[in-house]
Amino acid sequence: MSFEILPSSTSQAFTPATADAFLQRFVCFEHEPQLDSTQACSVKEALLLLAGLSDFQTLGVCAASMETAVMALNSYLSALGHELQADMEVLPPIDGPVYLKCNTRSLGYYGDRYSGDYRGVLVSCQSDYSDGVVGTYGHFPLDLFVS
């Protein structure tokens, strides 16, 4: 799958409007998108811009296992500037595919079995104001922010 990529050489490459339009291209892909390094950099740049302008985020992870979901969630939380980290010990033990959700405002988590085909991370940017950044983007690769 190929994507038209906007320039990503500087953090000024995206405006909120162009970042939103770019990330809308990823809405509800059934399978985790495979991105080359340039595409991954562009996705990260756009996500970081919009998340930084939002008041809080809700992240939803669809993964083959709870371990993979926690790894993905924690890498996204760190990249988005949150000190919050999911802990496997306090999440329900689930065998097989899972859905793991985190609200960065309430600091709450929810984990459950997942029977769908989607894999990846949804990022929902929320605002306290009507003119703020609001949008749901993804599914993005589980390992997008894994170093």
Give the CATH number, domain containing residue 70. 3.30.360.10
Q: Which residues of the chain have pLDDT under 50?
A: 1-11
pLDDT value for 105: 95
Instruction: Report which of 43, 9, 41, 38 is spatially closest to residue 25, judged by C-alpha positions.
Output: 43
Spatial strand order of the sheet with 108-113 comes to 108-113, 98-103, 56-63, 120-126, 135-140
Tell me which residue range forms the domain holding 36: 11-140
CA atoms lying within 13 Å on the CB side of residue 48: 18
65 within some domain = yes
The tally of domains found in the chain comes to 1
pLDDT value for 54: 97
32 within some domain = yes
17 within some domain = yes
145 within some domain = no
pLDDT value for 13: 84
pLDDT value for 30: 66
**Rg for the chain (alpha carbons), in Å?**
15
Give dist(CA 24, CA 37) in Å, integer: 19
Q: What is the pTM of this model?
A: 0.88
Give dist(CA 110, CA 60) in Å, integer: 9
pLDDT value for 27: 84
How are the residues of the chain apportioned to helix, strand and coil, as percentages rounded to the nearest 5?
Answer: 35, 20, 45
128 within some domain = yes
Instruction: Report which of 115, 117, 140 is spatially closest to residue 57, judged by C-alpha positions.
Output: 140
